[in-house]
């Protein structure tokens, strides 16, 4: 838990660091990383929990996402990567219905969710985070988590009862806060937290809904390496009994954490497969290097 | 903009002082008609409740309605008509006014909450202007004359409200009921979600909250409470006129709330009392009251943006932080 506050140096971006990673670290020897052993463990057996077919999003003639077909297997950590402007966040917005696709279909756990509203998608168990840290800034850490617990507990619409009844949720909220190591900060308002702890709080709040699948939009953006380690551990723990789809720029993290990688460039899918397979793909290398020479 | 009430509620010292303050305020309100002109006080109470109801929306949901006059003035017409033409009990008439305003709030809110910010304000303004036009045209409001000579009647057939003191305590009871209703809504599980929506609407949606329904619920509650204030005003002053439904009244309630402190519990009431007192005392002099109120408005926005009560609370908060 120490040292998080001072270490919030922005490291994750695609420009220099990531390119260096691609050039040098990509052919990562499997034995060098014990976590690599876990890669592929579920890939063979599990079923797709979320599949999108032919997703297209046009903004007044500009095609941001073109014919994206994506399938995320249950119980895996799946990464969505790609250069800046590739349409990763747009895909997230489409999957969680914050945007409605121009064309295409989204099926989650066997149910067509293409026409649902975003709040309904969350109720189905597909819960997202945002690129810009999504907390309730002037509520305390405890209250942030409790807000998420209120709806499942049926304590959200009573306007005639005292807010004191919400203390019945404190126990569960503190468990979740403890799971992300924020117990000492439970009474601080969210604005008072360091960047990394805000992201941890966000994950605790998301977990409060007990979702079957989490969509994390750049969970480590702007973090120092200590925070990155902490959040990586957290995501690994979460993924034991859930599915995670994450947009991530830090390719070390992707290599470390993710079972499967989908590469997006200019709104289209470029490659899809294990990290090693994808990183060996010449088109992927070209997409990244291409941006360098522009 | 809004003062963080969550913070104060968490401070035990602040909670104690809030209780002490509440007891003193209620005692002062009970004793007030023996020192001040009761009609002025009743006017203050009606506008204070109106401003508090308006503040429920702007202060705790972050929605700026520019059409609250429709609920205030509309309820005044409903209550006046019920009391005068149907001969209803004054309490029944006031409650009918509140119910009518709630119905209007449901219709106007249903259309308005789909938009945010300035568009929300414009839709509420447009719809309330439409309502003002209807009030001018339909026969039951008596056009420019308004509904005059509304009987105050006897409360539940027991208390003669033509007695100024009886009327005052009836108005005070309505005000306190409305004020505590707002207090309860704000500090309820529902109010907690409203604050979350105000803080980060997209996040609230992503947690599965159908935020439109929460906003509409708050809008209807705010409209009903504004109607409670408007209906009471019609009984107190024994008339209902176009003044209360026109857009100037919507502007006035914004000014009162801003002056007292948006997002504070008592701020809007303080602001309303101040504006009503100014209008009353300057009415006799030659000084144009609108100019003075305009100056106060500018000073408020430039110098103490949190409003009177908001600035006091901020000062107290800073002091307690320094003490730590």
How confident is the model at residue B12, as a pLDDT? 58
Are the Cβ atoms of B190 and A159 closer than 8 angstroms? yes
Between positions 161 and 190 of B, the ones with CB within 8 A of A are 184-185, 187-190
> Strands A268-273, A111-112: parallel, antiparallel or unpaired by DSSP?
unpaired
Q: Are strands A213-217 and A77-81 parallel, antiparallel or unpaired?
A: unpaired
Residue bearing the bigger pLDDT, A153 or B181: B181
The per-residue pLDDT for B14 is 64
- DSSP string covering B52-103: HHHHHHHHHT----S-HHHHHHHHHHHHHHHHHTS---HHHHHHHHHHHHHH
Looking at the complex, does the CB of residue B317 fall below 8 Å from at least one CB of chain A? no
Q: Are the CB atoms for A69 and A52 separated by under 8 Å?
A: yes
- pLDDT recorded at residue A11: 39
Q: Name the token pair of B247.
A: 């857009």
Sign of CA dihedral A254, A259, A262, A263: positive
Show me where the domains of chain A are located. 17-135+193-293
Tell me which chain A residues have a C-beta less than 8 angstroms from the C-beta of B206.
96, 98, 118, 122, 127-130, 134
Q: Which of B187, B205, B206 minimises the CB distance to A162?
A: B187
Predicted pLDDT of residue B174: 94
Integer Cα distance of B131 and B103 in angstroms? 13
Query: 10 Å Cβ neighbour count for A8?
Result: 17
Instruction: Tell me, yes or no, if B193 comes closer than 8 A to chain A by beta carbon.
Output: yes
- Examine the predicted complex and report whether its ipTM is higher than 0.90: no
| A127, A136, A163: residue with CB nearest B189 | A163
What is the CATH superfamily name and number for domain A17-135+193-293?
P-loop containing nucleotide triphosphate hydrolases (3.40.50.300)
Per the structure block, which two tokens stand in for B158?
Answer: 């027991």
A206-243: per-residue pLDDT in tens? 888 888 898 988 888 777 777 788 888 888 888 888 89
- Smallest CA–CA distance, residue B190 to chain A, in Å, is 5
CATH of the domain at B19: 1.10.3470
Written as one string, the DSSP assignment of A221-277 is TT--HHHHHHHHHHHHHHTTSSEEEEE-S-HHHHHHH-SEEEEEETTEEEEEE-HHH
Could you tell me where the beta strands, DSSP code E, fall in chain A?
48-59, 62-73, 77-81, 103-108, 111-112, 126-128, 213-217, 243-247, 260-265, 268-273
In angstroms, the separation between the Cα of residue B148 and the nearest Cα of chain A is 37
Nearest to A94 by CA among A134, A131, A56, A50: A56
Question: Distance between CA A291 and CA B182 in Å, rounded?
Answer: 56
User: Do the Cβ atoms of B112 and B250 come closer than 8 Å?
Assistant: no
What residues make up the domain containing B286? 5-323
Residue of A nearest to B200 (CA): A136
Tell me which chain A residue has its CA closest to the CA of residue B185.
Answer: A159
Residues of B in contact with A116 (CB under 8 A): none
- Please report the pLDDT score of residue B99 as a whole number: 96
Q: CA-CA distance, B237 to B164, in Å (whole number)?
A: 11
Could you tell me what percent of chain A has a pLDDT over 90?
A: 9
B211/A119 CB distance under 8 A = yes
Give the number of A-B residue pairs with CB atoms closer than 8 Å. Answer: 105
Distance CA B77, CA B241 (A): 8
Say what the pLDDT of residue A39 is. Answer: 41
Minimum CA–CA partner of A120 in chain B: B208
Q: Confidence band (pLDDT; 50, 70, 90) for A29? A: very low
Collapsing DSSP to helix, strand or coil, A80 comes out as: strand
A280-284, A290-294, B187-191, B202-206: least confident range: A290-294
**Structural domain tally of chain B?**
1
| Binding-site residues on chain A for chain B (CB distance < 8 A) | 96, 98, 117-120, 122-123, 127-130, 134-140, 143, 146-148, 150-151, 155-163, 165-166, 187, 189, 205, 209
Between CA B9 and CA B13 the distance in angstroms is 9
Q: Do A162 and B188 touch (CB under 8 A)?
A: yes
pLDDT at B224: 96
Phi, psi torsion values for A66, nearest 5 degrees: -125, 115
**pLDDT, position B115:** 85
Which structure tokens are listed for A79?
């990464």
List the single residue in A128, A143, A150 with the smallest CB-CB distance to B6. A143
- ∠A132-A135-A138 over CA atoms, to 5°? 125
Q: Look at residues B310, B271, B278, B308 and name the one whose alpha carbon lies nearest to residue B293.
A: B278
pTM across the whole model: 0.81
Q: Digits of tens for pLDDT over chain B (324 positions)?
A: 344 444 444 455 667 777 888 888 888 888 888 888 888 999 999 999 999 999 999 999 889 999 999 999 999 999 999 888 888 888 899 999 999 999 999 999 999 988 888 899 999 999 999 998 988 888 888 877 778 887 887 777 777 778 888 889 999 999 999 999 999 999 999 999 999 999 998 899 989 899 999 999 999 999 999 999 999 999 999 888 888 888 888 988 998 999 888 888 898 999 999 989 888 888 777 777 778 888 888 888 888 888 888 888 888 888 877 776
Pick B206's closest partner by Cβ from A96, A139, A150. Answer: A96
Contact B202 A98 (CB under 8 A): yes
Query: What pLDDT shows up at residue B248?
Result: 85
CB atoms within 10 A of CB A243: 26
Sign of CA dihedral B316, B318, B321, B322: negative
Interatomic CA distance for residues B266 and B48, integer angstroms: 9
How far is B207 from A126, CA to CA, in rounded Å? 10
**C-beta of residue B78 within 8 angstroms of C-beta of residue B97:** yes
- B221 in contact with chain A, both atoms CB, cutoff 8 A: yes
Q: Which of B187, B188, B209 is opposite residue A119, by nearest beta carbon?
A: B209
- Alpha carbon A275 to its chain centroid, in Å, reads 17
DSSP string, B163-181: SHHHHHHHHHHHHHHHHHH
- Residue A12: predicted pLDDT: 38
**Residue in chain B nearest A168 by alpha carbon:** B189
Average pLDDT over residues A250-274: 87
CA distance A163 to chain B (A): 4
Judging contacts by C-beta atoms under 8 Å, the chain B residues touching residue A117 are 210
Q: Please list every residue in chain B whose beta carbon sits closer than 8 Å to the beta carbon of residue A130.
A: 202-203, 206
Higher pLDDT, A155 or B15: A155
B210 to A117: CB separation less than 8 angstroms, yes or no: yes
- Per-residue pLDDT for A14 more than 60? no
Instruction: At A73, give phi and psi (nearest 5°).
Output: -80, 145
């Amino acid at each position: 838990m120490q040292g998080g506050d001072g270490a919030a140096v922005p490291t994750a971006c695609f420009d220099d660091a990531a390119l260096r990673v691609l050039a040098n670290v990509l052919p990562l020897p499997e034995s060098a990383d014990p976590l690599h052993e876990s890669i592929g463990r579920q890939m063979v057996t599990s079923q797709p929990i979320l599949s999108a077919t032919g997703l297209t999003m046009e903004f007044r003639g500009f095609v941001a996402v073109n014919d994206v077909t994506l399938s995320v297997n249950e119980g895996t950590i799946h990464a969505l990567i790609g250069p800046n402007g590739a349409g990763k966040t747009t895909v997230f917005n489409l999957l969680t219905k914050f945007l409605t696709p121009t064309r295409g279909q989204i099926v989650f756990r066997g149910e067509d969710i293409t026409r649902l509203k975003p709040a309904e998608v969350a109720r189905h168990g597909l819960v997202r985070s945002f690129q810009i840290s999504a907390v309730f800034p002037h509520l305390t850490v405890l209250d942030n988590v409790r807000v998420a617990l209120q709806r499942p507990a049926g304590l959200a619409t009573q306007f005639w009862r005292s807010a004191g009844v919400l203390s019945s949720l404190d126990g569960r909220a503190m468990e979740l806060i403890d799971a992300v190591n924020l117990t000492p900060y439970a009474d601080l308002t969210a604005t008072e937290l360091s960047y990394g702890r805000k992201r941890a709080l966000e994950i605790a709040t998301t977990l409060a809904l007990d979702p079957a699948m989490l969509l994390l939009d750049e969970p480590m953006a702007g973090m120092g390496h200590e925070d990155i380690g902490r959040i990586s551990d957290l995501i690994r723990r979460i993924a034991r009994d859930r599915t995670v789809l994450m947009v991530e720029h830090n390719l070390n993290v992707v290599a470390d954490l993710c079972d499967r990688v989908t590469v997006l460039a200019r709104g289209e899918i470029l490659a899809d497969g294990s990290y090693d397979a994808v990183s060996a793909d010449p088109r992927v290398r070209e997409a990244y290097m291409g941006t360098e020479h522009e | 903009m809004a003062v963080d009430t969550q913070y104060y509620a968490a401070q035990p010292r602040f909670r104690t002082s809030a209780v002490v303050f509440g007891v003193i305020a209620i005692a002062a309100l009970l004793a007030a008609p023996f020192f001040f002109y009761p009609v002025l006080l009743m006017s203050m109470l009606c506008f204070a409740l109106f401003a508090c109801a308006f503040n429920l929306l702007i202060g705790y949901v972050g929605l700026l309605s520019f059409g609250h006059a429709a609920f205030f003035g509309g309820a005044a017409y409903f209550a006046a008509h019920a009391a005068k033409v149907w001969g209803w009990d004054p309490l029944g008439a006031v409650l009918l006014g509140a119910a009518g305003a709630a119905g209007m709030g449901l219709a106007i809110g249903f259309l308005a909450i789909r938009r945010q910010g300035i568009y929300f304000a414009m839709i509420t303004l447009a719809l309330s202007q439409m309502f003002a036009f209807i009030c001018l045209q339909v026969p039951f409001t008596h056009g420019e004359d308004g509904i005059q000579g509304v009987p105050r009647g006897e409360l539940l057939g027991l208390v003669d409200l033509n007695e100024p003191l009886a009327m005052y305590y009836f108005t005070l009871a309505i005000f306190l009921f409305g004020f505590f209703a707002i207090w309860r809504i704000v500090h309820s599980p529902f109010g907690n979600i409203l604050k979350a929506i105000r803080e980060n609407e997209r996040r609230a949606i992503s947690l599965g909250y159908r935020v439109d329904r929460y906003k509409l619920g708050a809008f209807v509650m705010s409209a009903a409470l504004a109607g409670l204030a408007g209906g009471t005003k019609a009984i107190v002053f024994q008339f209902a006129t176009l003044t209360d439904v026109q857009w100037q009244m919507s502007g006035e309630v914004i000014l009162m709330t801003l002056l007292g402190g948006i997002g504070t519990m008592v701020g809007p009431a303080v602001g309303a009392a101040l504006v009503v007192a100014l209008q009353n005392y300057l009415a006799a002099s030659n000084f144009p009251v609108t100019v003075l109120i305009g100056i106060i408005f500018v000073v408020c926005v430039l110098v103490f943006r949190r409003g009177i009560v908001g600035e006091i609370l901020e000062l107290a908060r800073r002091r307690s932080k320094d003490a730590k």
